[in-house]
Amino acid sequence: MSVRKSAIVTGGTRGIGRAIVESLADGNLQNFSADVLFVYNSCETCAKEIEEQFKNTDVNVIGIQSDVTSFDKAQEVVNLALEKFGKLDILVNNAGITKDNLLLRMSEKDFDDVINVNLKSVFNYTKAAFKPMMKQRGGRIVNISSIVGIIGNAGQSNYAASKAGIIGFTKSTAKEFASRNITVNAVTPGFIETEMTAALNEKQREALLVNIPLKRIGQSQDVAKLVKFLCSSNADYITGQVISVDGGMVM
Ligand code: NDP
């Protein structure tokens, strides 16, 4: 029988976040299944659809509307997970947005919004999750960064700063939490097929493929499989790492 864990995933309604929710709940992957509380901002119909998908299974998958930029709401979500599932084993900080522009044209609001959703949220949720994980004497935190946080990208200075910030935050908290048996790792996806990347036209896609040695665009499941591994007992001795899922784009 597979082990049952409890997880929070931010930004679970679509794309990579949804695939992470599905893989954590799936008991056939990495010898455990998880009850999952996922957080979203606007897409209530997406949330209902995912809840429906797991209605007749033995795991509890619950969506909750909550803006990840709010420090207080992060605490409420963690309290709710503890109330519903009795414990918190896993936190996946996945929610993210882009507001691309060259720095010359980037507004202060576009900079602040991206930093708040992508980076401040990681602080909010990590801080709220740390106490229960510490009391349980163990936990797993996975932060979704991006290869853009490593190599930068013209037109994405706000996004790149938020994703590089996640890497620094991951390594620092990994060092702080290690003695509590809480691991913290960052995953850096490359180009993954989701709504976030759907805006690219055919010419832009072809240009991207030239730089991907595995010659395909990644799928959300490619990222979700790594996240599930990092949350499993197979990754007990891995912390503070930044692992790319990018078809070899950055090496
Ligand atoms: P999507 O745009 O498909 O989904 C984003 C998710 O975040 C949605 O569930 C959305 O909820 C949620 N969200 C956005 N803002 C908030 C908020 N303020 N509060 C709560 N939830 C919020 O993104 P992807 O799946 O493409 O990306 C997921 C993560 O992976 C992001 O951190 C992204 O930066 C990163 N990434 C993606 C890459 C890619 O190629 N797609 C590459 C590298 C990294 P709702 O739908 O309700 O608004």
204-217 pLDDT per residue, tens: 889 889 999 999 99
CA–CA dist 12, 171 (Å, integer): 24
* Closest atom, ligand 1, to C-alpha of 69: 18
Catalytic residue numbers read 159
Q: For ligand 1, atom 31, name the residue with the nearest CA.
A: 96
Token reading at 101: 């522009």
Secondary structure (DSSP) of 209-246: HHT-TT-S-B-HHHHHHHHHHHTSGGGTT--S-EEEES
154-167 pLDDT per residue, tens: 999 999 999 999 99
CA–CA dist 33, 58 (Å, integer): 9
- pLDDT-based confidence at residue 31 (cuts at 50, 70, 90): very high
Token reading at 216: 């395909």
Q: Specify the pLDDT at position 200.
A: 82
Q: Specify the pLDDT at position 219.
A: 97
Q: The dihedral of CA 55, 56, 57, 59: what is its sign?
A: positive
Closest CA to 34 of 85, 83, 102: 85
Q: Specify the pLDDT at position 184.
A: 99
Q: Specify the pLDDT at position 196.
A: 77
CA–CA dist 145, 230 (Å, integer): 15
Q: Is the pLDDT of residue 126 over 70?
A: yes
What's this model's pTM, rounded to 2 decimal places?
A: 0.98
For 83, residues 6+ apart whose C-beta sits below 8 A from its C-beta are: none
The strands making up 242-245's β-sheet, listed across from edge to edge, are: 61-65, 32-40, 3-10, 90-93, 139-144, 182-189, 242-245
Question: Which residue has tokens 């998958």?
Answer: 61
Q: Is the pLDDT of residue 180 over 90?
A: yes
Query: Cβ(143)–Cβ(122) under 8 Å?
Result: yes
CATH number of 3-191+218-245: 3.40.50.720
Q: Specify the pLDDT at position 89.
A: 98
The residues spanned by each domain of the chain are: 3-191+218-245
**Which residues are bridge partners to 18 per DSSP?**
none
Instruction: Spell out which residues line ligand 1, taking CB within 6 angstroms.
Output: 10-17, 39-43, 46, 67-69, 94-97, 117, 144, 146, 189, 191-192, 194-197
Query: Which ranges in the chain belong to alpha helices (H)?
Result: 15-25, 44-53, 71-85, 108-115, 121-136, 148-151, 157-177, 202-210, 220-230
Q: For ligand 1, atom 46, name the residue with the nearest CA.
A: 43
Q: Specify the pLDDT at position 1.
A: 60
